[in-house]
Amino acid sequence: MMSAGKQKGMDAIADERGVIRAAAMDQRGSLKRALAKEKNVATNAISDQDLAEFKTAVIQILSPYASGVLLDPDYGLPAAKARHEGVGLLLAYEKSGYDNTQPGRMPQLMPDWTVDRLKRAGADCIKLLIHYTPLEEPALNDQKKALVQQVGDACVECDVPFFLEFVGYDQGGKLSPLEYARQKPDIVTQSMREFSQDQYHVDILKVEIPVNLQFTAGTRWCEGHEAAYSRDEARELCLKAAAVARRPFIYLSAGVSSSQFHEALELAVEAGVHFAGVLCGRATWQEGIPVYAQKGRSALEDWLSTHGVPHIQALNEILAGACSWKDFDAEGGALSPDGT
């Protein structure tokens, strides 16, 4: 049974149906680089104030249409104060990017923060991102597993929900996009199986959709590409991944366009996958980056109102096919909306 504190945090981040409709705005290094590119300046010319202002505009305009928001404590705390009343707050615990001084894309925690400090800063839930593939060297993966367990233990101690995000990658760095698309379903499935285990104390798995629509026959994104799987096979791969989960899971957008993410979610709904919502970031607001870079905050706010809001509203319509995070049987996967 879930503790009172974790229950409170989950209720804060989900809507009245128990579906998690969260907007992600915890990008740091990637956002700084994107703004610098659009401004045609060096990355270090982008100030902390630029990042805070961009994040605040996004959260202020989009949060009324979300059940929760994900931010970082580096630049996102001013934005957290701008979120709509009643919208829950997740805070990221990992440093931006990963340690590139050693192999394996090793994650690093922010040294000035702890789970307790994040909770005291207002976090209803804690999020940790790791880059993970079961094909990596076992010794490197053992380090990642130990870190996840460490954060999970801290979340138990502080009585706050733990969201774990894992993003797969090509361990050897030599696969073509098509070859990796074929490998991706197994990477996602094995990762979901691993981090569903009790020792990690994960409350919500934040996962990639296990197929790539650019290599899924029968989708408009596959035009001109050799297919890795048919549409029917893609649906089965989504179901296969979902079947191994022993924790509720939500989907991440992985930086694709809003229309591509929406079609991928529709595929999952069509397949009958019992997922508990989304934590969607760049798919909703990334097209606003050049607007802000070239015209400033007011123009970004106008763009968010006329384009970002429709993106998130369309996403919310698709989430009518999602299930409550509460409707999940840890022994046998997700239950359907009618409890069967």
Please report, for the chain, the start and end positions of each structural domain, with discontinuous segments joined by +.
Answer: 4-334
User: DSSP per residue over 69-130, as a string?
Assistant: EEE-TTT-HHHHHTSPTT-EEEEE-BPSS-BTTSTT-B--B-TT--HHHHHHTT-SEEEEEE
Question: What is the spatial distance between Cα 197 and Cα 115, in angstroms, rounded to a whole number?
Answer: 21
Token readout for 208 is 């990639």
- The 3-state DSSP class for residue 20 equals strand
Q: Which of 145, 198, 189, 196 is nearest to 168 (CA)?
A: 189
H or E, element range at 333: strand 333-334
Element (H, E) at 144: helix 138-158
Of 328, 125, 318, 321, the residue nearest 245 (C-alpha): 328
Distance of alpha carbon 203 from alpha carbon 211, whole angstroms: 24
pLDDT, one tens digit per residue, over 130-173 is: 999 999 999 999 999 999 999 999 999 999 999 999 999 999 89
Question: How many other CB atoms are found less than 10 A from the CB of residue 132?
Answer: 27
Q: How many CB atoms lie within 10 A of CB 33?
A: 13
Q: Please tell me the CATH code under which domain 4-334 is placed.
A: 3.20.20.70
The answer to whether 117 and 196 are in contact (CB under 8 A) is: no
- Give which of 262, 269, 317, 251 is closest to 284, Cα–Cα: 262
| Successive 10-residue mean pLDDT values, the chain, 340 residues | 94 97 94 95 95 97 97 96 97 88 90 97 98 96 98 98 97 94 98 97 97 93 90 96 96 89 95 95 91 96 96 95 86 45
Phi-psi category of residue 285: left, alpha or beta, with phi > 0 → left and psi -120 to 50 → alpha: alpha
Residue in 246, 327, 240 with CA at minimum distance from that of residue 19: 327
- Asked if residues 138 and 125 have their Cβ atoms less than 8 Å apart, the reply is no
- The Cα–Cα gap between 274 and 324 comes to 9
The token pair at 317 is 């319509």
Q: How far apart are CA 80 and CA 78, in angstroms?
A: 5
Distance from C-alpha of 106 to C-alpha of 128, rounded to nearest angstrom = 13
**With contact defined as beta carbons under 8 Å apart, do 128 and 163 qualify?**
yes
What per-residue confidence (pLDDT) applies to 162? 98
Classified as helix, coil or strand, 201 is coil
Per-residue tokens: 33:
């680089």
Phi, psi angle pair for 191, to nearest 5° = -65, -40
Task: State how far the Cα of 265 lies from the Cα of 209, in Å rounded to an integer.
Answer: 8
Q: What is the pLDDT of residue 257?
A: 87
3-state SS assignment for residue 1 = coil
